Structure 1
Amino acid sequence: MYDLKEQEMMFVFTGPDGSGRKTVANLVAQSTLQMKGVISYTTRPKRSYEVEGRDYYFITDDEFRAAKEKGEFLENVRINGYQYGIKEMEIKKRFQEKGCIYLVMNTEGAEILKKLYGKKVVRIFLYADRQTLRERQVERGDASSVIAKHLAHYDEDMAYKKECEHAFENSKLDHTAYEVTQAVESYLK
Protein backbone atom coordinates (compact mmCIF):
# COMPACT_ATOMS: atom_id res chain seq x y z
CA MET A 1 0.00 0.00 0.00
CA TYR A 2 1.29 3.46 -0.91
CA ASP A 3 2.41 5.31 2.23
CA LEU A 4 1.18 8.92 2.17
CA LYS A 5 3.67 11.61 3.11
CA GLU A 6 2.73 14.23 5.70
CA GLN A 7 1.52 16.90 3.22
CA GLU A 8 -0.23 14.48 0.85
CA MET A 9 -4.04 14.28 0.83
CA MET A 10 -6.74 12.67 -1.29
CA PHE A 11 -10.00 14.43 -2.06
CA VAL A 12 -12.62 11.87 -3.05
CA PHE A 13 -15.71 13.09 -4.89
CA THR A 14 -18.54 10.63 -4.39
CA GLY A 15 -22.33 10.38 -4.48
CA PRO A 16 -25.09 8.92 -6.64
CA ASP A 17 -24.58 8.57 -10.37
CA GLY A 18 -25.75 11.74 -12.11
CA SER A 19 -24.99 13.96 -9.09
CA GLY A 20 -22.29 15.82 -11.02
CA ARG A 21 -19.40 14.48 -8.99
CA LYS A 22 -17.08 14.25 -12.03
CA THR A 23 -18.09 17.69 -13.35
CA VAL A 24 -17.62 19.38 -9.97
CA ALA A 25 -14.35 17.53 -9.34
CA ASN A 26 -12.93 18.66 -12.67
CA LEU A 27 -14.04 22.26 -12.13
CA VAL A 28 -12.77 22.52 -8.57
CA ALA A 29 -9.74 20.30 -8.35
CA GLN A 30 -8.35 20.38 -11.86
CA SER A 31 -9.37 23.77 -13.23
CA THR A 32 -9.36 25.92 -10.09
CA LEU A 33 -6.82 24.26 -7.78
CA GLN A 34 -4.61 22.52 -10.40
CA MET A 35 -4.79 19.15 -8.63
CA LYS A 36 -4.09 15.96 -10.52
CA GLY A 37 -6.83 13.37 -10.84
CA VAL A 38 -6.54 9.60 -10.68
CA ILE A 39 -8.56 7.68 -13.25
CA SER A 40 -10.27 4.38 -12.43
CA TYR A 41 -10.09 1.19 -14.45
CA THR A 42 -13.34 -0.57 -15.33
CA THR A 43 -14.61 -3.61 -17.18
CA ARG A 44 -17.89 -2.00 -18.18
CA PRO A 45 -18.51 -0.86 -21.76
CA LYS A 46 -17.64 2.73 -22.65
CA ARG A 47 -20.66 5.02 -22.95
CA SER A 48 -21.05 7.21 -26.03
CA TYR A 49 -20.02 10.41 -24.21
CA GLU A 50 -17.01 8.92 -22.40
CA VAL A 51 -13.38 9.20 -23.48
CA GLU A 52 -10.78 6.50 -22.87
CA GLY A 53 -8.12 7.79 -20.46
CA ARG A 54 -10.19 10.77 -19.39
CA ASP A 55 -13.26 9.16 -17.84
CA TYR A 56 -11.94 5.64 -17.24
CA TYR A 57 -9.44 3.14 -18.53
CA PHE A 58 -11.67 0.53 -20.16
CA ILE A 59 -10.18 -2.96 -19.89
CA THR A 60 -11.37 -6.53 -20.30
CA ASP A 61 -12.34 -8.87 -17.47
CA ASP A 62 -9.16 -10.86 -18.14
CA GLU A 63 -6.97 -7.74 -17.96
CA PHE A 64 -8.67 -6.69 -14.72
CA ARG A 65 -8.29 -10.15 -13.19
CA ALA A 66 -4.59 -10.29 -14.16
CA ALA A 67 -3.90 -6.86 -12.64
CA LYS A 68 -5.80 -7.84 -9.50
CA GLU A 69 -3.83 -11.08 -9.16
CA LYS A 70 -0.58 -9.09 -9.44
CA GLY A 71 -1.79 -6.83 -6.59
CA GLU A 72 -1.87 -3.71 -8.78
CA PHE A 73 -5.16 -2.36 -7.41
CA LEU A 74 -5.20 -0.26 -4.26
CA GLU A 75 -8.97 -0.69 -4.18
CA ASN A 76 -11.49 -2.48 -6.36
CA VAL A 77 -15.23 -3.08 -6.24
CA ARG A 78 -17.88 -4.83 -8.30
CA ILE A 79 -21.01 -2.86 -9.18
CA ASN A 80 -23.83 -4.11 -11.41
CA GLY A 81 -21.59 -6.95 -12.61
CA TYR A 82 -18.66 -4.72 -13.63
CA GLN A 83 -15.33 -4.24 -11.90
CA TYR A 84 -13.90 -0.85 -10.98
CA GLY A 85 -10.51 -0.16 -9.44
CA ILE A 86 -7.72 2.32 -8.77
CA LYS A 87 -4.18 1.16 -9.44
CA GLU A 88 -1.61 1.97 -6.79
CA MET A 89 0.93 3.07 -9.43
CA GLU A 90 -1.54 5.75 -10.60
CA ILE A 91 -1.73 7.13 -7.05
CA LYS A 92 2.07 7.19 -6.74
CA LYS A 93 2.49 8.88 -10.12
CA ARG A 94 -0.03 11.64 -9.33
CA PHE A 95 1.50 12.33 -5.92
CA GLN A 96 4.89 12.79 -7.57
CA GLU A 97 3.36 15.58 -9.66
CA LYS A 98 1.40 17.31 -6.87
CA GLY A 99 1.03 16.99 -3.08
CA CYS A 100 -2.74 16.54 -3.22
CA ILE A 101 -4.83 14.52 -5.65
CA TYR A 102 -8.49 13.94 -6.35
CA LEU A 103 -10.52 10.90 -7.30
CA VAL A 104 -14.09 10.44 -8.49
CA MET A 105 -15.45 7.23 -6.99
CA ASN A 106 -18.57 5.39 -6.01
CA THR A 107 -19.34 5.24 -2.32
CA GLU A 108 -17.84 1.75 -1.89
CA GLY A 109 -14.48 2.87 -3.30
CA ALA A 110 -14.55 6.03 -1.19
CA GLU A 111 -15.07 3.96 1.94
CA ILE A 112 -12.17 1.62 1.09
CA LEU A 113 -9.78 4.57 0.68
CA LYS A 114 -11.03 6.14 3.92
CA LYS A 115 -10.33 2.90 5.80
CA LEU A 116 -6.86 2.68 4.24
CA TYR A 117 -5.77 6.29 4.80
CA GLY A 118 -8.03 7.75 7.49
CA LYS A 119 -7.87 11.52 7.91
CA LYS A 120 -5.69 11.85 4.77
CA VAL A 121 -8.86 11.16 2.75
CA VAL A 122 -11.52 13.88 2.56
CA ARG A 123 -14.80 12.66 1.10
CA ILE A 124 -16.93 15.22 -0.72
CA PHE A 125 -20.44 13.90 -1.25
CA LEU A 126 -22.48 15.44 -4.07
CA TYR A 127 -26.16 14.74 -4.48
CA ALA A 128 -29.44 15.79 -6.03
CA ASP A 129 -32.97 14.46 -5.72
CA ARG A 130 -33.91 11.26 -7.55
CA GLN A 131 -35.86 13.03 -10.32
CA THR A 132 -33.00 15.44 -11.07
CA LEU A 133 -30.59 12.52 -11.32
CA ARG A 134 -32.94 10.73 -13.69
CA GLU A 135 -33.24 13.84 -15.89
CA ARG A 136 -29.47 14.34 -16.00
CA GLN A 137 -28.87 10.74 -17.01
CA VAL A 138 -31.54 10.92 -19.73
CA GLU A 139 -30.00 14.19 -20.95
CA ARG A 140 -26.54 12.66 -21.26
CA GLY A 141 -27.97 9.75 -23.23
CA ASP A 142 -27.89 6.86 -20.77
CA ALA A 143 -30.13 3.92 -21.66
CA SER A 144 -33.21 3.49 -19.49
CA SER A 145 -31.87 0.13 -18.24
CA VAL A 146 -28.63 1.83 -17.11
CA ILE A 147 -30.57 4.61 -15.38
CA ALA A 148 -32.71 2.04 -13.58
CA LYS A 149 -29.58 0.28 -12.28
CA HIS A 150 -28.12 3.59 -11.09
CA LEU A 151 -31.31 4.66 -9.33
CA ALA A 152 -31.61 1.25 -7.67
CA HIS A 153 -28.57 2.30 -5.60
CA TYR A 154 -29.89 5.79 -4.83
CA ASP A 155 -31.05 5.23 -1.24
CA GLU A 156 -27.92 3.26 -0.36
CA ASP A 157 -25.71 5.97 -1.88
CA MET A 158 -27.62 8.71 -0.08
CA ALA A 159 -27.19 6.91 3.25
CA TYR A 160 -23.41 7.32 2.82
CA LYS A 161 -23.78 11.12 2.88
CA LYS A 162 -23.63 11.25 6.68
CA GLU A 163 -20.28 9.38 6.64
CA CYS A 164 -18.58 12.01 4.50
CA GLU A 165 -16.66 15.03 5.72
CA HIS A 166 -18.62 17.34 3.39
CA ALA A 167 -21.93 17.09 1.52
CA PHE A 168 -23.29 19.48 -1.11
CA GLU A 169 -26.56 19.44 -2.98
CA ASN A 170 -25.63 20.07 -6.59
CA SER A 171 -28.59 22.02 -7.92
CA LYS A 172 -26.66 25.02 -9.32
CA LEU A 173 -23.25 24.05 -10.65
CA ASP A 174 -21.55 27.43 -10.14
CA HIS A 175 -22.71 27.67 -6.50
CA THR A 176 -21.76 24.08 -5.79
CA ALA A 177 -18.31 24.51 -7.36
CA TYR A 178 -17.72 27.65 -5.29
CA GLU A 179 -18.76 25.96 -2.01
CA VAL A 180 -16.68 22.86 -2.73
CA THR A 181 -13.65 25.01 -3.63
CA GLN A 182 -13.95 26.80 -0.28
CA ALA A 183 -14.09 23.48 1.56
CA VAL A 184 -11.09 22.01 -0.29
CA GLU A 185 -9.03 25.18 0.14
CA SER A 186 -9.55 25.01 3.91
CA TYR A 187 -7.46 21.79 3.91
CA LEU A 188 -4.74 23.23 1.72
CA LYS A 189 -3.91 26.18 3.99
Structure 2
Amino acid sequence: MNVESDRKLIFVFTGPDGSGRKTVADSVGATLGIAKVLSYATRKPRPGEVNGQDYHFITPELYEQFERAGDFIESISIGGSRYGVRGEDIEQSLRQGGSVYLIVNPEGAQLLKDRYGDQAVRLFIYADRRTVQERQQESGLDAAIVQAKMDQYETAIAYQPNCEHAFENYDLAHTVFDISNTLEHYLQRNLVERD
Protein backbone atom coordinates (compact mmCIF):
# COMPACT_ATOMS: atom_id res chain seq x y z
CA MET A 1 0.00 0.00 0.00
CA ASN A 2 1.08 3.51 -0.71
CA VAL A 3 0.18 6.29 1.67
CA GLU A 4 -0.64 9.31 -0.48
CA SER A 5 -1.33 11.81 2.29
CA ASP A 6 -1.25 11.72 6.05
CA ARG A 7 -2.58 14.44 8.31
CA LYS A 8 -0.67 15.30 11.47
CA LEU A 9 -3.13 14.52 14.23
CA ILE A 10 -2.78 13.57 17.89
CA PHE A 11 -5.08 10.71 18.86
CA VAL A 12 -5.58 10.83 22.62
CA PHE A 13 -6.80 7.58 24.18
CA THR A 14 -8.36 8.17 27.57
CA GLY A 15 -10.88 6.70 29.99
CA PRO A 16 -10.86 5.02 33.38
CA ASP A 17 -7.92 2.86 34.46
CA GLY A 18 -8.81 -0.75 33.66
CA SER A 19 -10.95 0.15 30.65
CA GLY A 20 -8.36 -1.45 28.36
CA ARG A 21 -7.37 1.89 26.84
CA LYS A 22 -3.68 0.90 26.59
CA THR A 23 -4.36 -2.45 24.92
CA VAL A 24 -6.86 -0.86 22.53
CA ALA A 25 -4.59 2.09 21.72
CA ASP A 26 -1.55 -0.09 21.06
CA SER A 27 -3.60 -2.43 18.85
CA VAL A 28 -5.05 0.48 16.85
CA GLY A 29 -1.61 2.10 16.57
CA ALA A 30 -0.10 -1.14 15.23
CA THR A 31 -3.04 -1.67 12.84
CA LEU A 32 -2.80 1.83 11.37
CA GLY A 33 0.97 2.30 11.64
CA ILE A 34 0.68 5.32 13.94
CA ALA A 35 3.62 6.22 16.21
CA LYS A 36 3.14 6.13 19.98
CA VAL A 37 4.33 8.98 22.20
CA LEU A 38 5.32 7.52 25.56
CA SER A 39 4.66 9.11 28.92
CA TYR A 40 7.34 9.29 31.61
CA ALA A 41 6.80 7.58 34.97
CA THR A 42 8.74 7.59 38.22
CA ARG A 43 7.35 4.25 39.42
CA LYS A 44 8.88 0.83 38.84
CA PRO A 45 7.57 -1.20 35.86
CA ARG A 46 4.66 -3.49 36.69
CA PRO A 47 4.71 -7.15 35.62
CA GLY A 48 4.77 -7.30 31.82
CA GLU A 49 5.70 -3.63 31.35
CA VAL A 50 8.82 -2.75 29.37
CA ASN A 51 10.85 0.45 29.62
CA GLY A 52 10.69 2.31 26.31
CA GLN A 53 7.60 0.40 25.22
CA ASP A 54 5.00 1.11 27.91
CA TYR A 55 6.57 4.17 29.56
CA HIS A 56 9.92 5.84 29.92
CA PHE A 57 10.64 4.76 33.50
CA ILE A 58 12.89 7.41 35.03
CA THR A 59 14.14 8.48 38.44
CA PRO A 60 12.22 11.08 40.44
CA GLU A 61 15.33 13.29 40.17
CA LEU A 62 15.31 13.23 36.36
CA TYR A 63 11.56 13.82 36.37
CA GLU A 64 12.07 16.92 38.54
CA GLN A 65 14.77 18.13 36.16
CA PHE A 66 12.38 17.85 33.18
CA GLU A 67 9.63 19.55 35.15
CA ARG A 68 11.83 22.46 36.24
CA ALA A 69 12.80 22.96 32.59
CA GLY A 70 9.10 23.19 31.65
CA ASP A 71 9.31 20.11 29.41
CA PHE A 72 6.02 18.52 30.47
CA ILE A 73 2.71 19.44 28.86
CA GLU A 74 1.00 17.21 31.38
CA SER A 75 2.37 16.27 34.78
CA ILE A 76 0.36 14.49 37.45
CA SER A 77 0.86 12.54 40.67
CA ILE A 78 -0.96 9.26 41.22
CA GLY A 79 -0.35 7.09 44.26
CA GLY A 80 2.99 8.70 45.03
CA SER A 81 4.31 8.32 41.47
CA ARG A 82 4.69 11.06 38.87
CA TYR A 83 3.57 10.80 35.23
CA GLY A 84 4.21 13.28 32.46
CA VAL A 85 4.15 13.85 28.71
CA ARG A 86 6.90 15.97 27.13
CA GLY A 87 5.85 18.43 24.48
CA GLU A 88 9.08 17.90 22.55
CA ASP A 89 8.32 14.18 22.21
CA ILE A 90 4.97 14.98 20.58
CA GLU A 91 6.49 17.62 18.28
CA GLN A 92 9.35 15.37 17.22
CA SER A 93 7.02 12.42 16.49
CA LEU A 94 4.71 14.64 14.44
CA ARG A 95 7.66 15.92 12.40
CA GLN A 96 9.00 12.40 11.80
CA GLY A 97 5.91 10.41 11.02
CA GLY A 98 2.66 12.27 10.71
CA SER A 99 -0.04 11.39 13.22
CA VAL A 100 0.70 10.04 16.70
CA TYR A 101 -1.20 8.57 19.62
CA LEU A 102 -0.94 8.86 23.39
CA ILE A 103 -2.57 7.16 26.34
CA VAL A 104 -3.41 9.52 29.22
CA ASN A 105 -5.97 10.00 31.95
CA PRO A 106 -8.86 12.44 31.37
CA GLU A 107 -6.97 15.32 33.00
CA GLY A 108 -4.13 14.82 30.55
CA ALA A 109 -6.56 14.50 27.65
CA GLN A 110 -8.02 17.90 28.49
CA LEU A 111 -4.59 19.52 28.75
CA LEU A 112 -3.67 18.15 25.31
CA LYS A 113 -6.97 19.37 23.85
CA ASP A 114 -6.41 22.82 25.34
CA ARG A 115 -2.93 22.99 23.83
CA TYR A 116 -3.52 21.42 20.41
CA GLY A 117 -7.19 22.21 19.74
CA ASP A 118 -8.67 20.43 16.71
CA GLN A 119 -5.37 18.65 16.08
CA ALA A 120 -6.09 16.53 19.20
CA VAL A 121 -8.83 13.92 18.84
CA ARG A 122 -9.93 12.34 22.13
CA LEU A 123 -11.06 8.70 22.11
CA PHE A 124 -12.78 7.65 25.32
CA ILE A 125 -12.48 3.92 26.11
CA TYR A 126 -14.75 2.55 28.83
CA ALA A 127 -16.39 -0.45 30.45
CA ASP A 128 -18.70 -0.79 33.45
CA ARG A 129 -17.30 -0.40 36.96
CA ARG A 130 -17.41 -4.13 37.83
CA THR A 131 -15.57 -5.13 34.63
CA VAL A 132 -12.91 -2.46 35.15
CA GLN A 133 -12.31 -3.62 38.72
CA GLU A 134 -12.10 -7.28 37.70
CA ARG A 135 -9.58 -6.46 34.96
CA GLN A 136 -7.36 -4.62 37.41
CA GLN A 137 -7.54 -7.41 39.97
CA GLU A 138 -6.75 -10.02 37.30
CA SER A 139 -3.71 -8.00 36.20
CA GLY A 140 -2.13 -8.69 39.60
CA LEU A 141 -2.15 -5.13 40.91
CA ASP A 142 -1.91 -4.63 44.66
CA ALA A 143 -5.37 -4.27 46.27
CA ALA A 144 -4.54 -0.74 47.50
CA ILE A 145 -3.63 0.37 43.96
CA VAL A 146 -6.83 -1.15 42.57
CA GLN A 147 -8.85 0.68 45.22
CA ALA A 148 -7.09 3.98 44.49
CA LYS A 149 -7.84 3.58 40.78
CA MET A 150 -11.47 2.63 41.46
CA ASP A 151 -11.85 5.75 43.63
CA GLN A 152 -11.21 7.72 40.40
CA TYR A 153 -13.67 5.73 38.25
CA GLU A 154 -16.66 8.10 38.49
CA THR A 155 -14.49 11.17 37.85
CA ALA A 156 -13.00 9.49 34.76
CA ILE A 157 -16.39 8.35 33.42
CA ALA A 158 -17.76 11.88 33.81
CA TYR A 159 -15.23 13.07 31.19
CA GLN A 160 -16.79 10.98 28.40
CA PRO A 161 -19.15 13.69 27.00
CA ASN A 162 -16.14 15.98 26.44
CA CYS A 163 -14.48 13.56 24.02
CA GLU A 164 -14.93 13.49 20.26
CA HIS A 165 -15.60 9.72 20.31
CA ALA A 166 -16.45 7.06 22.91
CA PHE A 167 -16.08 3.29 22.55
CA GLU A 168 -17.33 0.60 24.90
CA ASN A 169 -14.60 -2.03 25.31
CA TYR A 170 -15.82 -5.55 26.03
CA ASP A 171 -14.64 -7.27 22.82
CA LEU A 172 -11.11 -6.14 21.94
CA ALA A 173 -11.21 -7.10 18.25
CA HIS A 174 -14.55 -5.33 17.74
CA THR A 175 -13.37 -2.20 19.58
CA VAL A 176 -10.10 -2.03 17.62
CA PHE A 177 -11.97 -2.50 14.33
CA ASP A 178 -14.44 0.29 15.12
CA ILE A 179 -11.75 2.73 16.23
CA SER A 180 -9.48 1.93 13.28
CA ASN A 181 -12.33 2.70 10.87
CA THR A 182 -13.08 5.94 12.71
CA LEU A 183 -9.44 7.07 12.61
CA GLU A 184 -9.07 6.29 8.89
CA HIS A 185 -11.67 9.00 8.24
CA TYR A 186 -9.47 11.49 10.11
CA LEU A 187 -6.25 10.39 8.45
CA GLN A 188 -7.67 10.66 4.91
CA ARG A 189 -4.73 8.64 3.65
CA ASN A 190 -6.42 7.38 0.47
CA LEU A 191 -4.71 4.02 0.72
CA VAL A 192 -4.10 2.65 -2.76
CA GLU A 193 -3.13 -0.93 -3.62
CA ARG A 194 0.10 -1.20 -5.63
CA ASP A 195 1.05 -4.34 -7.57
Q: TM class, shorter-chain normalised?
A: over 0.9
User: Partner amino acid for 1:153?
Assistant: Q
Distance 1:149 1:185 in 2: 36
- Cα deviations across residues 115-172 of structure 1 (Å, max 9, x unaligned)? 0011110000000111111111111111111100110000000000010000011011
Please name the residue that 2:20 is paired with: 20
Provide the C-alpha distance between the structure 1 equivalents of 2:117 and 2:105, rounded to a whole number of angstroms: 17
Shift of residue 88, structure 1, vs aligned partner: 2.1
Instruction: Tell me what 1:125 maps to.
Output: 124
The structure number with the bigger radius of gyration is: 2
In the alignment, structure 1 segments of 5+ residues that lack a partner are 1-5
- The higher relative CO (CA closer than 8 Å, separation ≥ 6) is in 2
1:62-73 to 2 correspondences below 5 Å:
62-73=61-72
| Separation (CA, whole Å) in 1 of partners of 2:133 and 2:32 | 30
Asked whether the equivalents of residues 79 and 145 of structure 2 are also in contact (C-alpha less than 8 Å), the reply is no
CA RMSD of aligned residues (A): 1.4
Q: 2:181 — aligned with what?
A: 182
Identity of counterpart residues, as a percentage?
44
Residues 1:170 and 2:149 are matched in the alignment: no
2:101 aligned partner = 102
The residue aligned with 2:191 is none
Provide the TM-score with structure 2 as the length reference: 0.90
Alignment-derived partner of residue 34 in structure 1? 33
Distance (whole Å) between structure 1 residues aligned to residue 11 and residue 132 of structure 2: 23
Q: Is residue 46 of structure 1 aligned with residue 38 of structure 2?
A: no
Report the alpha carbon displacement of residue 42 of structure 1 after superposing the two structures with TM. 1.1
Q: CA deviation at 1:82?
A: 2.1
What amino acid is aligned across from residue 11 of structure 1 in structure 2?
F
Q: Which residue of 1 aligns with 2:89?
A: 90
Provide TM-score, normalisation by structure 1: 0.92
- Would the aligned equivalents of 2:74 and 2:84 in 1 still touch at CA under 8 Å? yes
Contact 2:74 2:108 (C-alpha < 8 Å) held by counterparts: yes
SS at match of 1:39: coil
Detail structure 1 runs of 4+ shifted over 6 Å in the superposition. none
Do the aligned residues in 1 keep the contact of 2:168 with 2:175 (CA within 8 Å)? yes
